[in-house]
Copies of this chain bind each other. A is one copy, B any other.
Amino acid sequence: MPKATGRKPQGRASDAPDTRTRIRRAAAAQFARRGYAGTGLKQIAAEAPAPFGSIYHFFPGGKDDLAEDMIRTTGPQFMRLVLGVLAERDDPVEAVEHTFAAAARDLAANDYADGCPIATMALDVASTNDRLRAAAADVFGEWTDGGIAWFTRWTGDAARAADLARTMIMIIEGAFLLSRTTRDPEPLHAAGRSMAALLRAARTDLSARG
């Protein structure tokens, strides 16, 4: 990790993102849309835009370094995004419904290209690249922990919160998969309804037990 010396790269427009940032952004977009094997380093350099050699300057480990960096940075970003949307409503059931509706709207708006930032890569590398598989597993673990914290604040029951958190993640991933391949927001809406139904069932169940 090169220590920041406070020096600006090279006389560049002050507000434009630097080369490293442009490479990361382009890599994140391409990997998320086209998967690991389907994305070429040359495409990333072309889209950044950045000189090809700069990729290896900033990410000496090459494609794997770039992909792992992408997984570990966009993963938490996505969780913060979801948690932010969730926080826009007070009632948990409404919050969940609102979040799925927002996801459906956003996915349609970007022409069904950007769903989960890491799911495509995760499946792509699950059986072929253990380092990246582990990175994705770490991210899913963080999401699960974050979800458990969120649901525990509401249910007070940790075991139930764990199932709800995992289910929320799984159903949203499944919904992205279906909506992206069918180019139809309906799966995301159905997912929202089911997740809300699950929360309502948990609520009545918990209040019945006291």
Contact = CB atoms under 8 A, between A and B. Distances in A.
A195 to B, nearest CB: 9
A123 B191 contact: no
Q: Within the oligomer, what is the number of copies of this chain?
A: 2
A178 B170 contact: yes
Contact of A162 (B124, B171, B175, B190): B190
Taking residues whose C-beta sits less than 8 angstroms from the other chain, chain A's interface range is 35 or more
Q: Determine chain A's interface SS by DSSP, over half rule.
A: helix
B190 A163 contact: yes
B163 A193 contact: yes
Interface in A4-26: none
Interface of A: 33-38, 112-113, 119-120, 122-124, 126-128, 133, 136-137, 140-141, 162-164, 166-167, 169-175, 177-178, 180-183, 186-187, 190-191, 193-194, 197-198, 200-202
